[in-house]
Amino acid sequence: MQNTSSQGPVFKVRTLPQNQPQPFELRPTKAELAAIAADFDLLDLRKTTLIGRIQADGKTDWALTARLGATVVQPCVVTLKPVTTRIEASVERRYLAQVPDQPEDEEVEMPEDENAELLGSEIDVSAVLYEALALNLPQFPREDNAEMENAVFTEPGKQAMTDQEARPFASLAALRDKLGSAEDE
Q: Give this prediction's pTM.
A: 0.69
What is the C-alpha to C-alpha distance for residues 65 and 31, in angstroms, rounded to an integer? Answer: 26
8-43 pLDDT per residue, tens: 588 988 889 889 999 999 999 999 999 999 999 999
Q: Which conformational region is residue 27 in: left (phi greater than 0), alpha (psi within -120 to 50 degrees), or beta? A: beta
| Contacts of residue 168, Cβ cutoff 8 Å, sequence gap at least 6 | none
126-184 pLDDT per residue, tens: 999 999 999 999 998 888 776 666 666 677 878 776 666 667 676 677 778 878 776 66
